[in-house]
Amino acid sequence: MALLQEGKEVPGYRVERYLGEGAFAEVYRVKHPHLGRQAMKVFKTQGPQAEAALLTRLTHPNVVRVYEAGTLQTTAGTRSFLTMEYVPGGTLHRNWANPRPVPLPKSQTVRTVREVAQGLAAAHQERPPILHLDITPQNILIDQAGRARLSDFGLAKVANPDPCKPRGSVTLAFSPPESLLGAQAESCASDVWALGAVAYLLLTDTYPYPDGVSRRTTPPRPSALNFEVDRALDEIVLDALAPNPTRRTPNAMVLARQLVEYEGAVR
């Protein structure tokens, strides 16, 4: 049974339409009497309120703005929720896979990844940094202006210095090597790896590490799979995917700067 019923009122909002769900939450389009349409994410289990509240202070053109974090009554009892901007343009995954998955043009991929990196940098620049921990094409939205917007900070948390408590992406293809080993602390470099995997997928139409392939070695250069990719872009993507996090592009600020410089050089 859905957590909220379409057409019903919840405190402060009217539930208009069920939009979908993931492993941890259901998403609804809701309407606020003064602020208009928003998206509401309702967690299937009680979410961490302190961590959710962190997201309300993130403001950047490439991040879907979170407005409110709280709790409400659902068909399953009290649950945590977030309200955020409603972005009707669809996910990066849908834009890439429709009508079928093919490599995106190089310029489009670089722009998209750069925009996401710039949005992610706003989180990484917080003190302590806010980590996303679930960067995938499904969690990147493309707005009606064609701008990439990082969404779904459902796993977000402040950087964890405790190496005994890793909590990486729930999507295996975008999980950095250290999260699979279960013995390293999360860092901004963990998010960079996931975004590097997104870039690799968009450029080559394949994952950097298909099922069963060890993540201890560097994947093939993107240029080996896509003639549009040059050596400079190869290096940026492969540095983001370095198996050892201490040798990886350290954070989204550095990745965004590299991509801005690359775009300037190829114009």
The model's pLDDT over 182-220, given as tens digits with 9 standing for 90+, comes to: 655 689 999 999 999 999 999 999 999 987 678 888 999
The per-residue b/e assignment along 151-161, b for 16 or more CB within 10 angstroms, e otherwise, is bbbbbbbbbbe
Binned at pLDDT 50, 70 and 90, residue 169 comes out as very low
Lowest mean pLDDT among 18-27, 40-49, 143-152: 40-49
Binned at pLDDT 50, 70 and 90, residue 70 comes out as confident
> Which structure tokens are listed for 255?
């990745």
Q: Amino acid identity, residue 46? A: Q
CATH code for the structural domain at 9-85 = 3.30.200.20
- This prediction has a pTM of 0.86
Give how far Cα 192 sits from Cα of 16, 182, 224, Å.
36, 18, 22
Q: Amino acid identity, residue 175? A: S
pLDDT tens digits, one per residue of 5-40: 999 999 999 999 999 887 778 999 999 999 899 999
Q: Where are the domains of the chain?
A: 9-85, 92-266
CATH code for the structural domain at 92-266 = 1.10.510.10
